[in-house]
Amino acid sequence: MFVLVEMVDTVRIPPWSFQRQLNDAIAEELNKKLANKVVYKVGLCICLYDITKLDDSYIFPGDGASHTKVHFRYVVFHPFLDEILIGKIKYCSQEGVHVTMGFFDDILIPPESLQQPAKFDEAEQVWLWEYETDEGAHDLYMDQGEEIRFRVTDEVFVDTSPTGPATATPDTPGQPGQPGQSTAPPAEDAGEKKEAPYTLIGTICEPGLGLLSWWNN
């Protein structure tokens, strides 16, 4: 679930923090920069593990702060392919079952990866598994808040760094009255719909996967 990633960065310590121990000041700055943030193609950063190397600190003209190149290791949430994870069902929609782990929310189990046969109950907005036994069919509901065990099948990283001004758009950009949906969407939306930078796609289409209550007797 968690991995250690080695990184290098230059950390700026402002002069009013010079009385602090350099290691503490740097640790705080790194956590401020990376904790709870997704790094493209790496994962969700949790917290600093340790500092492996500190280069010399420099002060540049015009800026009273010190700049230090730091080699460090960071704890990152990045499950490997086919890993089994346990989460809670956040809600169900046509797109599938949305699962959350508390610290990480963007997990989706698409309809084709649910235990088959599966049906979407429009009235209650919930997916259910039509489980057939000799006695007849039971409908097993996937309710909100239930603990669910799933296998990671795919991960999607989206680069959400800000883009420059829109280059060639057919409609005039930035009209305040425009609704959320885009007619001719450019490669990246103008910021109305926020895309999750890191999404996990899972499956529960195997014996043992799905709601924990289905398999505990």
Which residues are at the interface with another protein (CB under 8 A)? 1-9, 28, 31-33, 35-37, 39, 41-42, 46-47, 49, 71, 73, 75, 78, 80, 82-84, 86, 101-103, 149, 151, 206-209, 215
Q: How many CB atoms lie within 10 A of CB 155?
A: 15
Nearer to another protein, 131 or 215 (CB): 215
Nearer to another protein, 190 or 201 (CB): 201
Q: How far is CA 27 from CA 3, 4, 13, 55, in A?
A: 19, 16, 11, 14
CA-wise closest residue to 143 among 215, 89, 212, 85: 89
Nearer to another protein, 3 or 140 (CB): 3
Task: Determine contact, residues 97/142, Cβ cutoff 8 Å.
Answer: yes
What letter would DSSP give residue 215?
Answer: H
Q: How many CB atoms lie within 10 A of CB 72?
A: 21
Q: Which residues pair with 199 in a beta bridge?
A: 156
Element of type H or E holding 23: helix 22-34
CB of 96 to another protein, least distance (A): 20
Nearer to another protein, 72 or 126 (CB): 72
CB of 143 to another protein, least distance (A): 19
CB of 182 to another protein, least distance (A): 30
Nearer to another protein, 126 or 148 (CB): 148
Element of type H or E holding 127: strand 126-133
CB of 121 to another protein, least distance (A): 27
CA-wise closest residue to 97 among 86, 85, 84, 111: 111
CB of 46 to another protein, least distance (A): 6
CB of 173 to another protein, least distance (A): 31
Nearer to another protein, 32 or 194 (CB): 32
- 91 vs 63: CA distance, rounded Å: 49
